[in-house]
């Protein structure tokens, strides 16, 4: 097997030019958008590099720590990553690798007899398949990275503080109130109360899809912290079905003033601070 | 719940973090919307699902939610959600169902509350083995 691999490697090296030409022709036929995205000259350079390393890997293809093997993987990983970012499908990236077969097999066909040909094709096949699978893995990895980044970006949606009137601030709460987010909301609320010397804070929960016991607990905690600072907390955006659900859950919001709409909340806040709308 | 028969394909959602809870809630809301449940029923059940799914994450680390439609007596239809985990289980179920009982520094209303939010509620738990809770909401 090893002798055959060496022979294949030598043969590929000898017909390097021909394989290179064939491969690039294949690419333009079968992976046009990829070639367009990468650029013709760069594609040529890349195929040339991969081919060179491939020939080096061939003699001992099972040795995955091999320097050339690692280099091929690196080139392919870089390409796969780049393609993911440019929204080129992973199939096209895979075709890039797999079309190498169509350029190598004709050469083997010309040079080897039937028995040898089968073995040689098997060996080449195995290696190219490995490389192809690798581009898929890289594709998945880079996708995961993108998803992770987006999740992070999503979490960073800040909690805005709106000063709606003299001594009245409002904080619209959106999305899911997990512990991190609540901690942030709490800090921002208390800091804003201190800095603006506000007496009333309106927390609007219209943007929270599900108000369960966790959200309720966070709201109660925020309200009691505000009360410690001498401020009143009004929770607005309590719709009919949320009220009903909270009652069935057995949540007691007794200590917290609640209103259905922002308008009602603001009205109450103005009364609490002895102010009037003119 | 012997009076219910599965009549649709089931959906399974693995739940191991708080993002998964959002997915679970969205799936339930979507299915209930499709089955034409009222908005109030949707809110109640989604809240119950939120409680039960979070219980799995906080107490067992992870678990599985299975959703499917069921047929009841007299041609009624319903949605059944099963929550299964392989966590530490519940030592005393009666105590755990009580208002204000919590081992996780929460309000202690989730489990008992979830029972009140849906039509049918069944809980089975073996300490050291895990917990299985199934709820049904009839249309």
In this prediction, residue A1 carries a pLDDT of 62
Q: Which of B25, B40, B117 sits opposite A249 (nearest CB)?
A: B117
Longest Cα separation, chain B: 43
Pick the closest to residue A171 from A103, A99, A222, A209 (CA basis): A222
Does ipTM exceed 0.85? no
Report CA torsion sign: B46, B51, B52, B53.
Answer: positive
Q: Which of A178, A240, A245 sits opposite B47 (nearest CB)?
A: A245
* Mean pLDDT for all residues in chain A: 85
Spatial separation of the C-alpha atoms in residues A90 and A146, rounded to whole Å: 15
In this prediction, residue B18 carries a pLDDT of 83
In this prediction, residue A269 carries a pLDDT of 92
Q: How many domains does chain B have?
A: 1
Distance of CA A229 to the CA centre of its chain: 41
Strand partners, B15: B63
**Band (A101; pLDDT cuts 50, 70, 90):** confident
Q: What is the mean pLDDT of residues A83-106?
A: 84
- Cβ A101 vs Cβ A30: under 8 Å: no
In this prediction, residue B27 carries a pLDDT of 92
Token output for A1: 């097997």
Angle between helices A16-30 and A40-57 (to 10 degrees): 130
Least reliable range by pLDDT among A202-206, A224-228, B94-98? B94-98
In this prediction, residue B5 carries a pLDDT of 79
Residue A242 touches partner B, C-beta closer than 8 Å: yes
Q: What is the mean pLDDT of residues B34-39?
A: 91
Chain B residue numbers touching A178 (CB-CB < 8 A): 18
Distance (Å) from the alpha carbon of B43 to chain A's nearest alpha carbon: 7
Q: Which of B18, B39, B106 sits opposite A213 (nearest CB)?
A: B106
Give the highest mean pLDDT range of A43-52, A79-88, A259-268, B109-118: A259-268
Q: Which domain holds residue B63?
A: 5-138
* Mean pLDDT for all residues in chain B: 88
pLDDT reading at B119 higher than 60: yes
In this prediction, residue A156 carries a pLDDT of 65
Domain CATH for B13: 3.30.565.10
Q: What is the mean pLDDT of residues A6-12?
A: 84
**Band (B3; pLDDT cuts 50, 70, 90):** low
The rounded percent of chain B whose pLDDT value lies above 90 is 51
**Band (B32; pLDDT cuts 50, 70, 90):** very high
Q: What is the mean pLDDT of residues A232-246?
A: 91
* Interface contact flag, B47 A211, Cβ < 8 Å: yes
CA end-to-end span of chain A = 93
* Interface contact flag, B107 A242, Cβ < 8 Å: no
Tens-place pLDDT, residues A31-85: 888 888 878 888 888 888 888 888 888 777 666 677 778 888 888 888 888 887 7
Q: Which of B40, B46, B51 sits opposite A244 (nearest CB)?
A: B40
Give chain B's contact residues with A (Cβ, < 8 Å). 18-19, 22, 25, 39-40, 43-44, 46-47, 50-51, 54, 99, 106-107, 109-110, 112-113, 116-117
pLDDT reading at B1 higher than 60: no
Q: What is the mean pLDDT of residues B99-110?
A: 81
Tokens 């012997």 belong to B2
Angle between helices A67-85 and A114-155 (to 10 degrees): 50
In this prediction, residue A89 carries a pLDDT of 82
């Amino acid at each position: 097997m090893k002798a055959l691999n060496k022979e294949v490697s030598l043969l590929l090296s000898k017909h390097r030019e021909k394989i290179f030409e064939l491969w690039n022709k294949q690419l333009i036929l079968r992976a046009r958008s990829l070639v367009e995205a990468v650029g013709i000259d760069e594609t040529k350079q890349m195929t040339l590099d991969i081919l060179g390393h491939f020939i080096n890997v061939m003699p001992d293809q099972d040795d995955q720590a091999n320097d050339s093997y690692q280099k091929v993987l690196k080139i392919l990983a870089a390409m796969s990553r780049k393609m993911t970012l440019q929204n080129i499908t992973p199939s096209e990236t895979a075709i890039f690798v797999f079309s190498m077969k169509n350029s190598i097999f004709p050469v083997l066909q010309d040079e080897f007899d039937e028995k040898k040909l089968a073995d040689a094709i098997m060996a080449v096949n195995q290696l190219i398949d490995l490389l192809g699978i690798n581009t898929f893995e890289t594709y998945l990895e880079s996708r995961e990275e993108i998803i992770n980044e987006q999740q992070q970006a999503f979490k960073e949606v800040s909690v805005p503080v709106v000063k709606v009137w003299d001594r009245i601030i409002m904080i619209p709460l959106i999305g899911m109130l997990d512990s991190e987010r609540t901690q942030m909301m709490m800090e921002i609320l208390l800091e804003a109360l201190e800095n603006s010397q506000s007496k009333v804070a309106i927390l609007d929960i219209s943007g929270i899809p599900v108000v369960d016991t966790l959200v309720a607990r966070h709201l109660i905690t925020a309200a009691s912290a505000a009360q410690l600072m001498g401020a009143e907390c009004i929770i607005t955006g309590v719709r009919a079905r949320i009220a009903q659900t909270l009652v069935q859950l057995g949540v007691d919001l007794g200590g917290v003033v609640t209103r259905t709409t922002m308008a009602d909340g603001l009205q109450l806040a103005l009364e609490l601070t002895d102010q009037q709308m003119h | 719940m012997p009076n219910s028969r599965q009549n649709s394909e089931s959906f399974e959602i693995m739940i191991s973090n708080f993002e998964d809870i959002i997915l679970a809630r969205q799936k339930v809301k979507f299915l209930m919307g499709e089955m034409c449940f009222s908005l109030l029923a949707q809110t109640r059940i989604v809240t119950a699902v939120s409680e039960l799914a979070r219980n799995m994450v906080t107490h067992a680390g992870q678990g599985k939610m299975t959703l499917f439609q069921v047929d009841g007596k007299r041609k009624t239809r319903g949605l059944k959600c099963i929550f299964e985990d392989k966590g530490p289980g519940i030592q005393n179920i009666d105590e755990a169902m009580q208002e204000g009982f919590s081992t996780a520094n929460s309000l202690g209303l989730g489990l008992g509350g979830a029972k009140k939010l849906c039509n049918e509620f069944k809980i089975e738990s073996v300490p050291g083995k895990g917990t299985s809770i199934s709820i049904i909401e009839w249309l």
